[in-house]
């Protein structure tokens, strides 16, 4: 009996114990649920909503907020759901702007708040959208390949869909992409969509006629010490590599050693040369001691770089020596060339340049061959054309997809000091490329501060991801060739180096020519081409006097007048002279209502950012003024003339007033 | 009875293990939560994954301020000057002179809404000089917001809250 | 006998304790398990469009116009009285209807049902009007449609 009782006891005991264990095991799930990270945020959020609720409706909405997983599901992306809003609860609620994260409102950006539902969070911020704990969701767990982007690189994500170089409202990304093109990253690295990149580095044929071996040596050794603004990087070459390169370059074609003698060009008048230099407005593109537009080469030190004979030849016809140059061909007389070159040679020499050597340079053949190998090894032909080397293969690794590379696929080499993150790796690669291993070839670029961040952002934007078609904003590559004789003249005067037509061309000039015929009067345009007058006194980069023959000017003006027109802009606004009353009213509107004189000067009164309007009556077409006043951003979207929302009647009167300026009735 | 106590102790220890296994339970037992990070500053998120030894440079300005700076330099600096002191080159002929936006006092006295009104609607409508044009149509609400964010950095100020 | 008795009594009460504890725990386990089981069957999150979603700002829709939200199959129409959301799924056999701005009606391409902008059937085999859906305004000032809540046909939201 006692034994039986004892046995039963034991059974009951185990029964109780096991039941209890089951209970504990069962409790794990609800307990885990109870301690979920998002739960405390969701409760906090509801409390804050209740606290802030002003209306009964807000109170009702607040009370409806329960504890649950919130998510954004975007069917356009395969398999993507973002549960970030389970903790980041206030992102869509502008009332939470002063709350602390994660409950705070998302700042207003081009895609928020309207497009939260279609973009989700991971599209821009990366991380692991499905996770519901912070470490996992932010992608900080070591097995997640794409951790969250630090906020300072978020613009990189704009670039996964926006393929253009300039992405609106993404300054840093646009800057980075522009820098990459300018610095010539695409010369060595293949990147999807940039196969057509073209370098604007000079052709290297004929250097022996242009410069001296000493100058070349100093330059190749460290270009930036000679000219800080140059885009050519510091290649970090050894002395023998430099010597062999110079030898190689000197034989393309074999040296004539022109730097030694110049008998056929008599001395010119440097004073007249200086006047010519100023009148020709060379600093509309070049700089002298840093002053000027800066889209063409710095000219100080040029006398130590080139010899006078080459300079004269170049000024006479730049296109014969550098077919791809952006420099127009001026019509200089022989005397002009002598004087101008004299001025440049006398004034713009570099005191630190190596002293000229008085003997011919005849490098041994072995050195020349070594130089060719060096030239190939460092991928010089990625940027520079030179005869005899036609293969312009890229020597660097392809960069498509670099912006999403998992960290464990990166080679950190010697850089143990680096945090193991993609952005830090890219940053170090870009700012000190040779520090990873010996034998690397990437040159040293000068990139600091925001520029470095910008380039990292641009690289991070290159994810090579497959983006649903409707999200992609393709890169537009404009293609336009001015036709016929007009095209020939445009080429000769290199109008497109400064002006834009149909999306093609430079942006030195503020005036695209696409609708020039609707804008200005033909007679004025012809005169302007012959003798450019000042329209914007404040600019350094003004229209250059090309000294073109009258016949060319007439042809150009006439062509633009007939072809570069826009039918939306009224060709003839007034059938007869406008009523003086309207002119008076226009004048009143100009000064009193819209305050146009803040920027435009008439008779020496007013600001001088906008164009002078003294002669606007002979320059502009009234229809243009009318169209302009009604919304000048239609012409160029960055025009600074504000859109006042001018009513039609005011626009007509303003046009009447402005077209009366500078005309003798 | 001693046996029961012993078993209860076992169970308690077992339960403690289970709790400790759960991340949230750990915080309950040991106080600090290893995932509990102040998200106020985006940099602190990074602190988990980077150490301080080496860092790529951090821009001085956030996204909105950077956008604002670009807009300010493009549209406003002509008169208000690069640093907002009202000394842009186009201010030379203006009367009254453009507002000194780097003035701390002035900026603290203005709410974001005040600034947005003058930038968007122009000086004329606000009873100021008509030389300050209305930018509302060109910039729109969002971009004016960027500009204001940047203006605040010029005077290093936020509007006073009461 | 006394101590024996006592011990026996102690045995009994201990057994009783174990019995009660074990049975209570068992009951809790089975009860809890069934609750959790049911909870498990109900999905927490689904890979489908939410029934409640935001659209544009109210003033982006002009008076007298209709916007179509393709993914959610919803129209939002604005009349001079206010806003109204309609499902775009035909009540006949479930084709997706289309709004034709020229005629100002909603038409089904399958069997030619036609609906007015308040959802009423004008023509065709459709048995019922298009369901009218709940509209609301989000805190950020966007239109919120809730397809899970149907409202009476004549409801117009002011927003
Ligand atoms: S399904 Fe629309 S009419 Fe038949």
Between A421 and C42, the more confident residue is: A421
| Cα A193 from Cα A178, distance rounded (Å) | 14
Which candidate, C145, C113, C149, places its Cα nearest to that of C131? C149
Query: Residues of C near B (CB-CB distance < 8 A)?
Result: 14, 17
Which candidate, C83, C80, C87, C106, places its Cα nearest to that of C147? C87
Percent residues over pLDDT 70 in chain A: 97
| Cα B69 from Cα B63, distance rounded (Å) | 10
* SS3 category, A72: strand
Tell me the per-residue pLDDT of C23-58, one tens digit each, with 9 for 90 and over. 888 898 889 889 888 888 887 777 777 788 888 888
pLDDT of residue A475: 87
8 A C-beta contact, residue C36 and residue A30: yes
Q: Which helix (H) or strand (E) holds C148?
A: strand C143-151
| CA of C107 relative to ligand 1 center, distance in Å | 9
3-state SS record for A461-526: CCCCCCCCHHHCECCCCCCCCCCHHHHHHHHHCCHHHCCEECCEECCCCCCCCCCHHHHECHHHHH
Same domain? B28 vs B105: no
Chain A touched by C148 (CB under 8 Å): no
Mean pLDDT of B127-131: 87
* SS3 category, C96: strand
CATH code, residues A484-563: 1.10.760.10
Sign (positive/negative) of CA torsion A177, A178, A181, A184? Answer: negative
For chain A, give every domain's residue range: 37-148, 171-182+398-471, 207-382, 484-563, 580-659
Domain count, chain B: 2
Domain A580-659 CATH superfamily = Cytochrome c-like domain (1.10.760.10)
Tell me the per-residue pLDDT of A201-239, one tens digit each, with 9 for 90 and over. 888 988 888 888 889 999 999 998 888 888 899 988 888
∠ Cα A106 A48 B37 (to 5°): 60
Mean pLDDT of A36-45: 91
Mean pLDDT of A385-395: 80
Does B162 reside within a domain?
A: no
Domain A207-382 CATH superfamily = Cytochrome c-like domain (1.10.760.10)
Contacts of B1 in chain C (CB under 8 A): 14
C96 CB less than 6 Å from ligand 1? no
Sign (positive/negative) of CA torsion A108, A113, A118, A123? Answer: positive
Does B127 reside within a domain?
A: yes
Report CB contact under 8 Å: C45, A81.
yes
Tell me the per-residue pLDDT of A587-603, one tens digit each, with 9 for 90 and over. 999 999 898 999 999 98
Q: Can you tell me which atom of ligand 1 is nearest the CA of C95?
A: 1
Name A620's bridge partners: A520
Same domain? B32 vs B83: no
pLDDT of residue B120: 93
- Could you count the other beta carbons within 10 Å of the beta carbon of residue A160? 21
| CA of C111 relative to ligand 1 center, distance in Å | 5
What is the maximum span of chain C, computed from C-alpha positions, in angstroms?
106
Contacts of B124 in chain A (CB under 8 A): 593, 595
Best of A22, A33, A149, A151 to disrupt the B interface (most B CBs within 10 Å) is: A151
- List, in order, residues 6 or more apart from A74 with CB less than 8 Å away: A80, A81, A82, A117, A118, A119, A120, A123
Contacts of C60 in chain A (CB under 8 A): none
Same domain? B56 vs B30: no
pLDDT of residue A340: 94
Contacts of A536 in chain B (CB under 8 A): none
pLDDT of residue A143: 81
Which candidate, A596, A249, A262, A238, places its Cα nearest to that of A434? A238
Tell me phi and psi for residue C121, to 5 degrees. Answer: -75, 130
Asked if the model's pLDDT at residue B71 lies above 80, the reply is yes
- Which residue from C minimizes the CA distance to B7? C18
Same domain? B120 vs B148: yes
Best of A4, A20, A48, A115 to disrupt the C interface (most C CBs within 10 Å) is: A20
Q: Can you tell me which atom of ligand 1 is nearest the CA of C90?
A: 2
Q: Do the domains A484-563 and A580-659 sit in the same CATH topology, yes or no?
A: yes
pLDDT confidence band for B60 (50 / 70 / 90): confident
Report CB contact under 8 Å: A8, C15.
yes
Tell me the per-residue pLDDT of A324-372, one tens digit each, with 9 for 90 and over. 899 999 989 999 999 999 999 999 988 888 877 777 788 888 888 889 8
Which candidate, B149, A87, A35, C136, places its Cα nearest to that of A96? A87
Same domain? B34 vs B56: no
SS3 content of chain B, % helix, strand, coil (to 5): 60, 0, 40
CA distance A27 to chain C (A): 8
- Strands C105-107 and C114-115 come out as antiparallel
| Cα C149 from Cα C132, distance rounded (Å) | 9
pLDDT of residue B54: 45
Tell me the per-residue pLDDT of C114-140, one tens digit each, with 9 for 90 and over. 999 888 999 889 999 999 999 988 877
| CA of A559 relative to ligand 1 center, distance in Å | 60
CA A560 to mean position of chain CA atoms: 29
Does B46 reside within a domain?
A: no
* SS3 category, A3: helix
Same domain? B78 vs B130: yes
pLDDT of residue A255: 57
| Cα A312 from Cα A345, distance rounded (Å) | 11
| CA of C93 relative to ligand 1 center, distance in Å | 5
Name the closest-CA residue to atom 1, ligand 1: C93
- List, in order, residues 6 or more apart from B128 with CB less than 8 Å away: B118
pLDDT of residue A210: 86
Asked if the model's pLDDT at residue A550 lies above 90, the reply is yes
Report CB contact under 8 Å: A26, C32.
yes
8 A C-beta contact, residue A329 and residue A313: no
pLDDT of residue A111: 87
- pTM greater than the 0.90 cutoff: no
Instruction: Say which of A22, A23, A29 has its CB closest to residue C36.
Output: A29
pLDDT of residue C80: 87
| Cα A555 from Cα A658, distance rounded (Å) | 28
Does B43 reside within a domain?
A: no
8 A C-beta contact, residue A193 and residue A186: no
Asked if the model's pLDDT at residue B105 lies above 60, the reply is yes
| CA of C97 relative to ligand 1 center, distance in Å | 8
Least trusted range by pLDDT, from A193-197, A471-475, B9-13, C129-133: B9-13
Same domain? B62 vs B27: no
Mean pLDDT of A366-392: 86
8 A C-beta contact, residue A363 and residue A425: no
Q: Can you tell me which atom of ligand 1 is nearest the CA of C113?
A: 3
Strand intervals (E) in A124-276: none
Does B145 reside within a domain?
A: yes
Least trusted range by pLDDT, from A6-10, A651-655, B112-116: A6-10
C6-12 contact pairs (CB < 8 A, 24+): C8/A2, C8/A5, C11/A5, C11/A6, C11/A9
Best of A598, A600, A605, A644 to disrupt the B interface (most B CBs within 10 Å) is: A598
pLDDT of residue C13: 82
8 A C-beta contact, residue A326 and residue A183: no
Q: Can you tell me which atom of ligand 1 is nearest the CA of C126?
A: 3
C15 CB less than 6 Å from ligand 1? no
CB neighbour class for A319 (10 Å; exposed up to 12, middle 13-18, buried from 19): middle
pLDDT of residue B47: 35
pLDDT confidence band for B52 (50 / 70 / 90): very low
Q: Which of C73, C86, C93 to mutate to test the pocket of ligand 1 (most atoms within 8 A of CB)?
A: C93
pLDDT of residue B51: 36
Instruction: Say which of A101, A449, A638 has its CB closest to residue B39.
Output: A101
- Could you count the other beta carbons within 10 Å of the beta carbon of residue A289? 10
Which candidate, C66, C47, B41, C1, places its Cα nearest to that of A150? B41
Joined together, the tokens standing for residue A86 give: 């389970």
Contacts of B75 in chain A (CB under 8 A): 640
8 A C-beta contact, residue A389 and residue A368: no
CA distance A559 to chain B (A): 33
- Strands A504-505 and A500-501 come out as antiparallel
Mean pLDDT of A157-175: 93
Asked if the model's pLDDT at residue A155 lies above 90, the reply is yes
pLDDT of residue B6: 82
8 A C-beta contact, residue A652 and residue A570: no
Q: How many CB pairs under 8 A join B and C?
A: 3
pLDDT of residue B40: 31
pLDDT confidence band for A28 (50 / 70 / 90): confident
8 A C-beta contact, residue A245 and residue A230: no
* SS3 category, A10: helix
3-state SS record for A592-644: HHCCHHHCCCECCECCCCCCCCCCHHHHECHHHHHHHHCCHHHCCCCCCCCCC
> For chain B, how many helices (H) and strands (E)?
8, 0
pLDDT of residue B49: 31
Which CATH number is B57's domain given? 1.10.760.10
Joined together, the tokens standing for residue A48 give: 């804050």
pLDDT of residue A578: 85
Q: Return mean pLDDT, chain B.
A: 75
Same domain? B84 vs B138: yes
Same domain? B60 vs B19: no
CA A355 to mean position of chain CA atoms: 39
- List, in order, residues 6 or more apart from A332 with CB less than 8 Å away: A315, A316, A340, A547
Between B33 and A69, the more confident residue is: A69
| CA of C89 relative to ligand 1 center, distance in Å | 9
Name C89's bridge partners: C96
| CA of A356 relative to ligand 1 center, distance in Å | 91
| CA of C136 relative to ligand 1 center, distance in Å | 29
8 A C-beta contact, residue A620 and residue A659: yes
Q: Return mean pLDDT, chain A.
A: 88
Please report, for residues A44, A90, A99, A101, B63, the alpha-carbon distance to residue B40 in angstroms, rounded to integers and kept in the order given. 16, 14, 10, 6, 16
Same domain? B25 vs B58: no
Name the closest-CA residue to atom 3, ligand 1: C111
| Cα A563 from Cα A193, distance rounded (Å) | 32
C98 CB less than 6 Å from ligand 1? no
pLDDT of residue A559: 95
Does B138 reside within a domain?
A: yes
Name A500's bridge partners: A505
**Domain carrying residue B114:** 52-157
Neighbours of chain B (3+ CB pairs under 8 A): A, C
Scored b (16 or more CB within 10 A) or e, A615-646 reads bbbbbbbbbbbbbbbbbbeebeeeebbbbbeb
Asked if the model's pLDDT at residue A639 lies above 80, the reply is yes
| CA of A434 relative to ligand 1 center, distance in Å | 69
Q: Which of C105, C106, C108 to mutate to test the pocket of ligand 1 (most atoms within 8 A of CB)?
A: C108
Looking from the CA of A513 toward its CB, the CA atoms found within 13 Å total 23
How far the first Cα of chain B sits from its last, in Å, is 67
Report CB contact under 8 Å: A2, C8.
yes
Asked if the model's pLDDT at residue B62 lies above 80, the reply is yes
Least trusted range by pLDDT, from A198-202, A354-358, A528-532, B115-119: A354-358
C108 CB less than 6 Å from ligand 1? yes
CA C39 to mean position of chain CA atoms: 18
Q: Which of C88, C105, C113, C123 to mutate to test the pocket of ligand 1 (most atoms within 8 A of CB)?
A: C113
Asked if the model's pLDDT at residue A657 lies above 90, the reply is yes
Scored b (16 or more CB within 10 A) or e, C49-63 reads ebeebbbeebeebee
DSSP type of residue A123: H
Instruction: Say which of A18, A71, A93 has its CB closest to residue C45.
Output: A71
What is the maximum span of chain A, computed from C-alpha positions, in angstroms?
137
Same domain? B138 vs B65: yes
Same domain? B6 vs B69: no
Which candidate, A68, A40, A120, A64, places its Cα nearest to that of C45? A68
C107 CB less than 6 Å from ligand 1? no
Q: Can you tell me which atom of ligand 1 is nearest the CA of C125?
A: 3
Does B108 reside within a domain?
A: yes
């Amino acid at each position: 009996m006692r034994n039986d009782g004892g046995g039963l006891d034991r059974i009951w005991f185990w029964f109780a114990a096991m039941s209890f264990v089951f209970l504990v095991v069962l409790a794990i799930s609800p307990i885990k649920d109870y301690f979920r990270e998002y739960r405390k945020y969701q409760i906090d959020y509801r409390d804050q909503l209740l606290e802030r609720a002003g209306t009964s409706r807000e109170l009702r909405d607040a009370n409806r907020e329960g504890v649950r997983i919130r998510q954004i599901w975007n069917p356009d992306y395969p398999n993507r759901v973002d549960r970030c809003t389970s903790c980041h609860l206030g992102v869509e609620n502008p009332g939470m702007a002063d709350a602390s994260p994660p409950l705070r409102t998302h700042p207003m950006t081009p895609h928020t708040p309207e497009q939260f539902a279609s973009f989700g969070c991971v599209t821009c911020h990366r991380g692991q959208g499905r996770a519901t704990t912070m470490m996992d969701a932010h992608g900080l767990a070591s097995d997640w390949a794409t951790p969250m982007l630090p906020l300072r690189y978020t613009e990189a994500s704009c670039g996964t869909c926006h393929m253009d170089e300039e992405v609106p409202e993404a300054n840093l990304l646009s800057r980075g992409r522009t820098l990459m093109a300018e610095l010539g990253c695409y010369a060595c690295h293949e990147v999807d969509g940039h196969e057509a990149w073209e370098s604007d580095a000079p052709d290297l044929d004929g250097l022996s006629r242009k410069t001296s071996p000493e100058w070349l040596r100093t330059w190749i050794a460290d270009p930036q010490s000679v000219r800080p603004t140059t885009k050519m990087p510091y290649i970090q070459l050894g002395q023998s590599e430099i010597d062999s390169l110079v030898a190689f370059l000197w034989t393309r074609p074999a040296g004539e050693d022109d730097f030694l003698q110049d008998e056929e060009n008599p001395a010119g008048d440097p004073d007249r040369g200086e006047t010519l230099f100023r009148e020709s407005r060379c600093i509309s593109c070049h700089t002298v001691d840093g002053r000027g537009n800066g889209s063409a080469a710095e000219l100080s030190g040029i006398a130590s770089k080139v010899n006078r004979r080459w300079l004269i030849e170049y000024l006479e016809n730049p296109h014969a020596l550098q077919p791809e140059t952006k420099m127009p061909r001026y019509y200089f007389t022989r005397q002009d060339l002598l004087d101008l070159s004299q001025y440049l040679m006398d004034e713009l020499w570099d005191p630190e340049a190596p002293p000229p050597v008085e003997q011919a340079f005849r490098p041994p053949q072995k050195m020349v061959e070594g130089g060719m190998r060096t030239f190939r090894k460092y991928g010089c032909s990625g940027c520079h054309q030179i005869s005899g080397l036609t293969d312009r293969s890229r020597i660097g690794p392809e960069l498509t997809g670099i912006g999403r590379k998992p960290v464990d696929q990166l080679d950190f080499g010697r850089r143990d000091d680096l945090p193991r993150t993609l952005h830090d790796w890219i940053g170090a690669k870009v700012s000190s490329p040779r520090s990873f291993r010996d034998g690397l070839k990437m040159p040293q670029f000068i990139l600091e501060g925001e520029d470095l961040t910008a380039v990292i952002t641009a690289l991070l934007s290159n994810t090579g991801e497959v983006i649903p078609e409707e999200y992609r904003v393709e890169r537009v590559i404009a293609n336009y060739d001015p036709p016929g004789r007009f095209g020939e003249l445009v080429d000769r005067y290199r109008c497109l180096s400064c002006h834009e037509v149909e999306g093609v061309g430079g942006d030195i000039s503020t005036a695209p020519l696409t609708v020039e015929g609707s804008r200005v009067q033909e007679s004025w345009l012809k005169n302007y081409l012959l003798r450019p007058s000042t329209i914007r006194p404040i600019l350094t980069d003004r229209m250059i006097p090309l000294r073109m023959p009258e016949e060319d000017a007439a042809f150009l003006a006439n062509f633009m007048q007939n072809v570069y027109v826009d039918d939306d802009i009224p060709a003839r606004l007034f059938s007869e002279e406008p009523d003086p009353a309207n002119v008076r009213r226009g004048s009143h509107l100009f000064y009193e209502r819209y305050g146009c004189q803040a920027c435009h000067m008439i008779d020496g009164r007013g600001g001088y950012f906008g164009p002078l309007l003294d002669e606007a009556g002979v320059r502009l077409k009234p229809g243009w003024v009318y169209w302009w006043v009604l919304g000048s951003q239609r012409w160029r979207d960055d025009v600074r003339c504000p859109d006042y929302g001018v009513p039609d009647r005011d626009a007509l009167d303003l046009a009447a007033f402005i077209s009366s300026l500078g005309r003798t009735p | 009875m001693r046996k029961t106590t012993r078993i209860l102790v076992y169970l308690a220890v077992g339960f403690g293990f289970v709790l400790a296994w759960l991340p949230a339970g750990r915080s309950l037992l040991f106080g600090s939560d290893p995932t509990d990070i102040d998200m106020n500053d985006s940099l602190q998120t990074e602190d988990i994954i980077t150490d301080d030894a080496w860092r790529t440079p951090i821009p001085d300005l956030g996204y909105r301020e950077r956008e604002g700076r670009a807009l300010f330099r493009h549209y406003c600096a002509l008169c208000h000057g690069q640093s907002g002191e009202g000394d842009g080159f186009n201010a030379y002929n203006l009367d009254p002179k453009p507002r000194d936006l780097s003035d701390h006092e002035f900026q603290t006295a203005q709410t974001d809404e005040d600034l947005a009104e003058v930038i968007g609607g122009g000086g004329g409508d606000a009873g100021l000089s008509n030389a300050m044009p209305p930018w509302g149509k060109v910039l729109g609400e969002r971009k004016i917001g960027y500009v204001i964010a940047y203006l605040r950095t010029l005077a290093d100020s936020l509007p006073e809250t009461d | 006998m006394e101590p024996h008795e006592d011990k026996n009594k102690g045995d009994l009460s201990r057994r009783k304790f174990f019995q009660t504890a074990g049975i209570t725990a068992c009951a809790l386990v089975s009860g809890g398990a069934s609750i959790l089981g049911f909870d498990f069957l109900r999905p927490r999150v689904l890979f489908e469009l939410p029934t409640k979603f935001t659209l544009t700002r109210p003033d982006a829709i002009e008076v007298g116009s209709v916007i179509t939200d393709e993914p959610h199959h919803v129209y939002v129409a604005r009349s001079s009285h206010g806003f109204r959301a309609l499902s775009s799924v035909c009540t006949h056999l479930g084709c997706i209807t289309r709004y034709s701005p020229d005629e100002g009606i909603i038409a089904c391409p399958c069997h030619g049902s036609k609906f007015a902008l308040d959802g009423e059937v004008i023509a065709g085999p459709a048995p019922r009007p298009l369901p009218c859906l709940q509209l609301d305004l989000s805190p950020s000032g966007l239109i919120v449609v809730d397809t899970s809540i149907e409202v009476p046909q004549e409801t117009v939201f002011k927003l």
